[in-house]
Amino acid sequence: MPATPGPVGGPRLSQERRIVTEIPGPRSRELLARQRGLVPAGVGSTLPIFVESAGGGVITDADGNSLIDFGSGIAVTTVGNAAPRVVARAVAQLERFTHTCFLVNPYRSYLDVCETLNRLAPVPGEKRTLLVNSGAEAVENAVKIARAATGRPAVVVFDHAFHGRTLLTMSLTAKNRPYRQGFGPFAPEVYRAPMAYPYRWPSGPARCAEEAAAALADLLDRQVGAENVAAVLVEPIQGEGGFVVPAPGFLRRVAELCRERGILLIADEVQTGIGRTGRMFACEDEGIEPDLLTTAKGLGGGLPLGAVTGRAEVMDAVPAGGLGGTYSGNPVACEAALGVFEEIETHGLLARAQEIGDLMLGALDALRATHPEIGEVRGRGAMTAVELVTPDGSRSPAPELAARIAGRCHAQGLLVLTAGSYGNVLRFLPPLSIPDELLKEGLEILAAAFAEETTGPSA
Ligand code: PLP
């Protein structure tokens, strides 16, 4: 393969789409058949091409295909797959030691990650950071800490939220299938408020922030009792729920309602954080300062790492031994995270995320102008989406159309993901290392898929 690295490096993969078999090809299909006899059916794959290598803006598979990556392993390889500084640091650490358990013998890189997150997170005052293994574990720990710090049991979450697949986090998650069905009974003391979802707000987007804030206040004061509420937990842009960008001003109202009642605000930035939206954290765009902030995904550059960063007096409310885990803050993952921060800094990746956002939102808006099936284009930075509806003005969700368009993109060698409470959102999460040519080519494939799957005029 020609040695042309992407703009941010990564494996020296040719930055081109190259389709040499049907997708998935025969080798991938063989491996998928093997998977079916080995792995439970509950573990699904969006596009079962078996991966050989990935970097820049491409993923190559067992059949020799090279696909354009608009997924980043669900918002994980934000700085690029196998990014050079991530790999170099992780490899060097693997050769020094692989594990001690931070609870037994600590090591410096854990502190370096915490110091970086404490410096960057928009949490007010003195801060502390706890490292864990995943997004769900970060959210679980944020709730544990909030309960310990306030002495209150209840947690308030929002419609369309996704917070993970463990017992507590699936209880916090809104969507029944496939995340909750059959897995109950659920964790108690979880209450759900409507999300300020402008496109689907019954009285229209103009009143959305105000009415959703009033509904939250009513839930806190009248239904649950504010004195029982430890925390309100919110994604600043909802991820699995369909990249729902809350109505402007809503998050600030949520923060005020919490502050007035001594309730802690937890921002779940597992999907939005670490540069994805063009800022280090999406909270910065709204000017909100949560008491606790969770990260994972992009933090470890592909290695499993999550974190809770919070106000020192809140974080320190849990006595020694109450937090941590055998693998939490693994030294290889910590070095990888330090490599992620270096990649962001060295390559100006926050600005790159904004550039990608401008390019993608422009192209998606143009597509919407000729396709009434696109009800809304939304997102920020390298986290954008289109919500698909029936073209009759009713805004009825069109999940089958989303699935068909995703399928066409996959067949053409463009990896896109779906999302949304109604399964009708196509979401785009390219790595920030993707070259512009591949972004544009991906958008052309998407436009062609719309032209083929819809009856309206083509783009
Ligand atoms: N919180 C948010 C906002 C997420 O998007 C996700 C995963 O998609 C999680 C939590 C759970 O993270 P993990 O899959 O690492 O447990």
CATH of the domain at 419: 3.90.1150.10
Ligand 1 atom nearest residue 161's Cα:
3
The number of domains in the chain is: 2
Indicate the residue among 346, 374, 391 that finishes a domain.
Answer: 346
E strands in 217-346: 229-234, 264-268, 292-295, 306-311
Cα gap 352→345, rounded to integer Å: 11
The widest CA-to-CA distance across the chain, in whole angstroms, is 65
Written in H, E and C, the secondary structure of 372-389 is CCEEEEEEECCEEEEEEE
What per-residue confidence (pLDDT) applies to 1?
36
In the chain, helix, strand, coil percent, each to 5?
A: 40, 15, 45
155 falls within a domain: yes
Indicate the residue among 346, 373, 408 that finishes a domain.
Answer: 346
**pTM exceeds 0.95 for this model:** yes
Task: Give the single-character DSSP code of 222.
Answer: I
Cα gap 171→164, rounded to integer Å: 9
2 falls within a domain: no
62 and 92 both lie in a single domain: no
Cα gap 298→132, rounded to integer Å: 14
Ligand 1 atom nearest residue 272's Cα:
3
4 falls within a domain: no
412 and 281 both lie in a single domain: no
Ligand 1 in contact with 290 (CB < 6 A)?
no
Ligand 1 in contact with 269 (CB < 6 A)?
no
329 and 360 both lie in a single domain: no
142 falls within a domain: yes
What per-residue confidence (pLDDT) applies to 6?
43
270 and 303 both lie in a single domain: yes
18 falls within a domain: no
Ligand 1 atom nearest residue 139's Cα:
10
375 and 331 both lie in a single domain: no
Closest CA to 159 of 205, 188, 202, 195: 195
Q: Angle at the Cα of 171 (from 35 to 144), degrees rounded to 5?
A: 110
Closest CA to 418 of 402, 431, 401, 400: 402
Atom 12, ligand 1: residue with shortest CA distance: 135
Indicate the residue among 301, 316, 346 that finishes a domain.
Answer: 346
Distances (CA, A) of 350 to 134, 210, 279, 357, 432: 23, 31, 6, 11, 9
367 and 329 both lie in a single domain: no
Closest CA to 208 of 156, 251, 250: 250
Residue to substitute in 168, 173, 297, 429 for testing ligand 1 pocket (most ligand atoms within 8 angstroms of CB): 297
292 and 403 both lie in a single domain: no
99 and 245 both lie in a single domain: yes
CB 247 within 8 A of CB 209: yes
329 and 358 both lie in a single domain: no
* Secondary structure class of 91 (helix, strand, coil): helix
Cα gap 244→76, rounded to integer Å: 19
Give me the CATH number covering residue 341.
3.40.640.10
- CB-hemisphere CA count at 13 Å for 395? 8
What per-residue confidence (pLDDT) applies to 11?
60
Residue to substitute in 271, 272, 276, 421 for testing ligand 1 pocket (most ligand atoms within 8 angstroms of CB): 271
What per-residue confidence (pLDDT) applies to 459?
40
157 and 304 both lie in a single domain: yes
410 falls within a domain: yes
Average pLDDT across each block of 10 residues of the chain; the chain has 459 residues. List them in order: 44 92 98 97 96 98 98 98 98 98 98 99 98 98 98 98 98 97 98 98 98 98 98 98 98 98 99 98 97 99 98 98 97 98 98 98 98 98 98 97 98 98 98 98 98 72
Cα gap 385→96, rounded to integer Å: 42
Tell how far the Cα of 163 is from the centroid of ligand 1, in angstroms: 5
For residue 118, the enclosing domain spans 85-346
Q: For residue 172, what are the contacts with CB-CB under 8 A and spacing of at least 6?
A: 139, 143, 155, 157, 161, 163, 164, 187, 190, 233
Task: Give the single-character DSSP code of 6.
Answer: B
CB 288 within 8 A of CB 265: yes
